[in-house]
């Protein structure tokens, strides 16, 4: 009887301990922010460091070719308006998702490319996660490599950043977890042998060894949402863009690594 009571008290204490550790959703101090890169093995880091070993560069090279290829009813290529991407696209990815005047909401880099196709090339949009869209996005984003992220500073974006933040904090799914429960509170721990990381979106689109392919931030978010057994949003959903926007503004000041490599 006495031992049963001791166990019950212990269980209660343990439950209280878990509850407080899950409730203390603390933002990561600026000085402790770390890219996913720093959680990787030296082998995977070496793969990202060497442009001839980094498989993401295959998409960047494809993107460079697409930049110059004509498309749509107007028969224009990206290069016809934007000229040399090395100059015109420098720093662009560091500012995305950005506010689109016509739509009145933020759009991410993939959506910007497709808007450009629709408005200026009069071409059909490229499918999310298609090789061409990933290649163009990777090529554009690579022009900002090494530059500091500055997304979300536009005052018009404020309500959208706030909504992204809300979504990041909100518990959902059968596991009843919010992004914050892992990526703010437990980023120094492991989940099934893998580092949890801080969810800093510094290298997208990036090459995941698990995917054996390049993938977008939206793909990563959808996989995470599936992981907590919640209903995933469709590609291009405003909720995903708001999450992207919040994550990018949360990583403000960190360097772009595109195309990064991750396990």
Site of interaction with another protein (CB under 8 A): 47, 50-53, 55, 57-58, 61-62, 64-65, 209, 212-213
Q: Is 116 a catalytic residue?
A: no
> With respect to another protein, which residue has the nearer C-beta, 62 or 244?
62
3-state helix, strand, coil in the chain (%, to 5): 50, 10, 40
What are the two backbone dihedrals, phi and then psi, of residue 68, each rounded to the nearest 5 degrees? -100, -5
Burial label for 4, CB within 10 Å (0-12, 13-18, 19+), is exposed
Shortest reach from residue 140's CB to another protein, in Å: 16
Shortest reach from residue 231's CB to another protein, in Å: 20
Shortest reach from residue 64's CB to another protein, in Å: 7
The first and second tokens of residue 95, run together, are: 């500012």
> With respect to another protein, which residue has the nearer C-beta, 47 or 140?
47
Shortest reach from residue 55's CB to another protein, in Å: 4
Does the CA dihedral 57-58-62-63 come out positive or negative? negative
Cα 152 from Cα 240, distance rounded (Å): 15
Does the CA dihedral 28-194-41-211 come out positive or negative? negative
Largest Cα span, the chain? 83
Instruction: With CA atoms as reference, report the closest residue to 177 among 209, 207, 199, 147.
Output: 199
> With respect to another protein, which residue has the nearer C-beta, 60 or 251?
60
Q: Which of 81, 116, 179, 224 is catalytic?
A: 224
> With respect to another protein, which residue has the nearer C-beta, 102 or 212?
212
- Catalytically annotated residues: 224
């Amino acid at each position: 009887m006495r031992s049963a009571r001791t166990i019950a008290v212990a269980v209660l204490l343990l439950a209280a301990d878990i509850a407080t550790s899950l409730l203390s959703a603390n933002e990561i101090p600026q000085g402790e922010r770390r890219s996913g890169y720093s959680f990787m093995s030296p082998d995977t880091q070496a793969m990202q460091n060497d442009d001839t070993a980094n498989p993401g560069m295959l998409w960047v090279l494809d993107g460079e070719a697409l930049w110059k290829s004509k498309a749509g009813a107007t028969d224009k290529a990206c290069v016809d308006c934007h000229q040399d991407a090395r100059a015109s696209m420098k720093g662009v990815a560091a500012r995305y998702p950005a506010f689109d005047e016509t739509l009145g909401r933020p759009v991410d880099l993939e959506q910007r490319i497709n808007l450009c196709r629709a408005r200026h090339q009069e071409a059909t949009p490229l499918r999310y996660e298609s090789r061409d869209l990933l290649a163009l996005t990777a090529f554009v984003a690579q022009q900002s490599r090494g530059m500091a992220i500055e997304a979300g500073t536009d005052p018009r974006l404020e309500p959208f950043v706030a909504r992204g933040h809300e979504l990041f904090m909100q518990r959902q799914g059968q596991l009843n977890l919010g992004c914050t429960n892992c990526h703010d509170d437990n980023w120094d721990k492991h989940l099934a042998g893998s580092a949890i990381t801080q969810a800093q979106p510094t290298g997208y689109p990036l090459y995941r060894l698990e995917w054996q392919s390049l993938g977008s931030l939206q793909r990563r978010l959808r996989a995470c949402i599936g992981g907590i057994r919640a209903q995933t949003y469709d590609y291009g959903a405003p909720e995903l863009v708001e999450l992207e926007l919040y994550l990018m503004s949360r990583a403000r000041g960190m360097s772009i690594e595109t195309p990064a490599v991750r396990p």
